[in-house]
């Protein structure tokens, strides 16, 4: 068994959540974590669980214009500088066998504000033949560039732990 956590991150918040999720998963299954530009789309054959995440921009997955806007607000280089999760998922080969997946995002918590990158990623993975083993999960930042809200890294680690236990118990 093996898991892979793939993330897109502008300011480092989503990266930090991805690492925390991988720490929870790693208690149960060998786990790789990779930034989207370093993630191998073709390695899915030996992955039992793909966890994909990115920041929510303009109510969903980032696209070139929202990434450019983020770059203009950054006081440091962006973590993810190439294509985003939307493009990575679009190039992911369709799976002949059913594979497990879960999705997450980072976003600002605003009452009544719709949209979630995790939900958009989940739809794209289902279209590619993946089976979602958990509902899309959101982790919250305090503002557009962060930081993460108090307790979110612990919550991400616990979510990864839950995913790992369920993966182990399914086998």
pLDDT tens per residue across span 56-89: 988 889 878 877 887 787 676 777 777 899 999 9
Show the low-confidence residues of the chain (pLDDT under 70): 41-45, 74, 76, 171
Contact 161, 27 (CB under 8 A): yes
The pLDDT assigned to 59 comes to 83
Other C-beta atoms closer than 10 Å to the C-beta of 11 total 23
Structural tokens at position 2: 């093996």
* Structural domains counted in the chain: 1
Structural domain containing residue 144: 3-170
How far, in Å, are 13, 118, 144 from residue 82 at the CA level? Answer: 17, 19, 20
Q: Assign residue 40 the CATH number of its domain.
A: 3.40.50.360
Q: What angle do CA 47, 81, 147 make, to 5 degrees?
A: 85
Please state, in angstroms and rounded to a whole number, the distance separating the CA atoms of residues 6 and 153.
16
Please state, in angstroms and rounded to a whole number, the distance separating the CA atoms of residues 39 and 75.
26
The pLDDT assigned to 45 comes to 64
Q: Is 99 helix (H, G, I), strand (E, B) or coil?
A: strand
Please state, in angstroms and rounded to a whole number, the distance separating the CA atoms of residues 41 and 36.
9
The pLDDT assigned to 82 comes to 79
How far, in Å, are 23, 41, 71, 81, 134 from residue 138 at the CA level? Answer: 17, 24, 22, 22, 12
Q: In terms of DSSP H, where are the helices of 42-151?
A: 64-73, 85-90, 117-127
Please state, in angstroms and rounded to a whole number, the distance separating the CA atoms of residues 155 and 150.
10
The pLDDT assigned to 44 comes to 59
């Amino acid at each position: 068994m093996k898991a892979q956590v793939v993330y897109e991150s502008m300011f480092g918040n989503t990266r930090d959540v991805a690492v925390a999720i991988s720490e929870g998963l790693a208690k149960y299954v060998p786990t790789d974590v990779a930034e989207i530009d370093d993630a191998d789309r073709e390695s899915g054959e030996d992955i039992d669980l793909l966890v994909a995440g990115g920041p929510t921009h303009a109510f969903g997955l980032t696209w070139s214009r929202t990434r450019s806007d983020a770059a203009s607000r950054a006081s440091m280089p962006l973590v993810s500088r190439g294509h985003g999760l939307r493009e990575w998922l679009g190039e992911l080969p369709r799976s002949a066998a059913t594979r497990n997946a879960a999705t997450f995002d980072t976003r600002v918590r605003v009452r009544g504000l719709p949209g979630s990158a995790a939900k958009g990623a989940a739809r794209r993975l289902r279209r590619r033949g993946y089976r979602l083993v958990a509902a899309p999960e959101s982790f919250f930042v305090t503002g557009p560039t962060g930081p993460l809200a108090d307790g979110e890294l612990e919550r991400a680690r616990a979510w990864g732990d839950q995913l790992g236990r369920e993966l182990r118990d399914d086998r």
